[in-house]
Structure 1
Amino acid sequence: MKFEVYCDEANPDVLTSSKPRARHLMIGSLWLPEELRNEIKSRVGALRERHQAWGEIKWSKVSPNRRDFYLELIDLFFAHGDNLRFRCIAVDRTQLNLALHDNDGELGFYKFYYQLLHHWILDFNTYRIFCDIKSNRDPRRLPALARCLTRANLTSKIDDIQSLPSQEVVLTQLCDLLLGAASSRINDTLRDGTAKASVVQRLESALGRTLAPTHKGEEKFNIFKIRLQGGW
C-alpha cells in the first residue's frame, strides 16, 4: 500500500540556542494512504470556503475569529478514523547531550527525525515523505535520512523524501496545527479561555484523554516522549 507522510517541527532552537524558547523540541508527522490525499485537500478547501479562511493554517494563527474553522479542522482529522494518523516526538532539552551527536544540533535534529518515522514504517508498504522546507548547513541531511530509513526497513520502500514550503502544502499545515496542540500541553504553554484552549479541548474530547505522552501502540494521536537517559 502507498502512504504519504507530512512533517513539521516546533521549537528547533532547543538544539541550537543556549536560551531556547521551550523545554521540548517537537517534530510531528501526519500519515495517510496516498489515495486519501485529494479527498482531504478538497474537504479542507470546502472548510476554507465556508469560513472564508484563506490564509495559511498554522497553530500560531488560531484566534477567536477563526476558532470555528480550526475546530472543524479537528473534526475533519477524526472523521477519517485510523486512515488519518498523527505522530510526534518530544525531545527534552534537559536530557540532551549534543556530544553524542558530534556537538552538531542539526545532526541531532535529523537523528530524532529518524526516530519519529522509523517506528511507523511497516513492511511491504511504499512511503513518500514531505518535510517543511528548512535551511540546512549540510545539504545532504535529507538524502542521508532517506538512506538510513531504507537500510532499516528492507521490506518496505522509501520512495521519496523531499522538503516543500509549508504555505504550499495544506497537509503540512494540518500537521502544524496538530503539532502545536500537542506542544502546548507538553511544553505547558496553553492558557485557559483562549481559542487555542478550545481547539485542544476539542481534540482531547475526541480522544477521550488529555494530550500527554502515549504508549507506543497508540495509533490515532501518538506522542513519543523519548527517554534520553534510559529507563523502562
Structure 2
Amino acid sequence: MSRIEHIEGPEIDFPPEYRNYLIYCDESGGDSQAYHGWGTFWIPAERRGDLAQVLRDLKRKHEFQGEVKWNRIGYRNAPFFRDICGQFFRNNWMMFHCLAFGASVLRRELSEDGLVEARLHHLNALLQNKIDLFSGSGRDKIYHVRVAPLPSSYAKEDEQIHGITNAQLRGAMGHAPIRTMLTRDSRESAGVQFADFLLGSVLASWNERTAEDGPKAGLSRYVAKHLGWEDLRADTRPQEWKFNIWYHHDPEQPSPPSVETRECNWLVPVQPYRRVPK
C-alpha cells in the first residue's frame, strides 16, 4: 500500500486532501464505437452548491437551456461548451478520472445481464482504483457516489455495486469508505452532466473522430490543449489528479493496441503530488 504525499506549492485548495467527496459517474459508448468508457467527475461535497452556480451562470451567459451532454454539441452552442471546459480547468476543486476500454469486452457477452455485469465491472474497477489512491493511509475520507442509470433490468443496481466496491475496498484498505451510492437522472445532476461532457471529449479521440471537422472534434482538441496534447488518445500518469485517463486492456485480446502514456504539460498550472510508501 502507499499514500499520497502533498508537495507544497502555490495552491491552497488541493482537492485530494478533502475529506468528503461527491463522485458523479456516467458511461458512454455506442454499438458502432470501438471504445467505450466510464467517466467520473469529482468535487468536494462542500462544493456542490458552487458547481450548480457555475452551471447556472454559464447557461445564463450563453442563453443555453436544457441538459449539458456531449451529443448536444453543435456549431451554435460550441462557445458554451468551451466555457464549461475552461471552468473545469480553472477551478481547482474539480477533478475528472475516466477509464476507456475496448467494445470487445461487451460484445463478448450474450445476455443483457451479462452486458450489465461487464459494464459495472469496469465502473467498480475505476472507483476502487481511484478511491484507494486518494484515501492513502487515512480512514477519515468519505465518498458519496452518484451514477447515471444504466438501461438494464437490474433492480437496485446502485446497491449492488455499492456492496461489491465497498467489500473490495475493505479488503484492500481495511475499511469501507463509500458512504452512499445512488442513481441520479442526468437531467437533474450537474455533476453527471460534467462527467458526460468530459468523457465524450476523451472517447472522441479514442474512436478517432478528432481528425474530422466539426464542433465536437474541435472541442475534444480544445480539452487536449489543456493537457498540452494534440488529442486525448493516450494514458496519463496515475498521479495526474486533475484530468486522468486510464486505458484498461482486455486480457483475452491477443495484444493491446498501441497506447502511449504521455506527460501532461498543463495549460493551467496544476499542483502535483506523488505517492510514497507508508
Distance apart, 1:56 and its partner CA: 0.8
Alignment of 1:6-155 (within 5 A): 6-11=24-29, 20-81=31-92, 83-94=93-104, 98=108, 104-121=114-131, 122=135, 123-124=138-139, 125-154=141-170, 155=175
Runs of 5+ consecutive residues of structure 1 not aligned to the other structure: 14-19
2:28 partner amino acid: A
2:70 partner amino acid: W
Q: Is the 8 A contact 2:113 2:152 kept in 1?
A: no
Distance apart, 1:136 and its partner CA: 2.4
Provide Cα deviations, 1:135-176, integer angstroms capped at 9, x if missing partner: 322214321211122122233521111111101111111111
Q: Is the 8 A contact 1:96 1:228 kept in 2?
A: no
Residue 221 of structure 1: aligned partner:
243
Residue 158 of structure 1: aligned partner:
178
Residue 203 of structure 1: aligned partner:
223
Structure 1 or 2: more helix by fraction: 1
Residue-pair matches, total: 224
Residue 177 of structure 1: aligned partner:
197
Mapped partners of 1:111, 1:95: distance in 2 = 11
Mapped partners of 1:163, 1:102: distance in 2 = 19
TM-score, with structure 1 as normaliser: 0.87
Secondary structure class of the residue paired with 1:65: coil
Q: Is the 8 A contact 2:209 2:217 kept in 1?
A: no
Identical aligned pairs, as a percentage?
A: 21
Runs of 5+ consecutive residues of structure 2 not aligned to the other structure: 1-18, 257-278
Q: CA RMSD in A?
A: 2.4
Mapped partners of 1:171, 1:58: distance in 2 = 11
Distance apart, 1:66 and its partner CA: 0.6
1:225 partner amino acid: Y
Q: Is the 8 A contact 1:30 1:85 kept in 2?
A: yes
Distance apart, 1:31 and its partner CA: 0.8
TM-score, with structure 2 as normaliser: 0.74
Distance apart, 1:105 and its partner CA: 1.2
Secondary structure class of the residue paired with 1:64: coil
Secondary structure class of the residue paired with 2:236: coil
Distance apart, 1:201 and its partner CA: 2.4
Q: Is the 8 A contact 2:106 2:119 kept in 1?
A: no
Secondary structure class of the residue paired with 1:153: helix
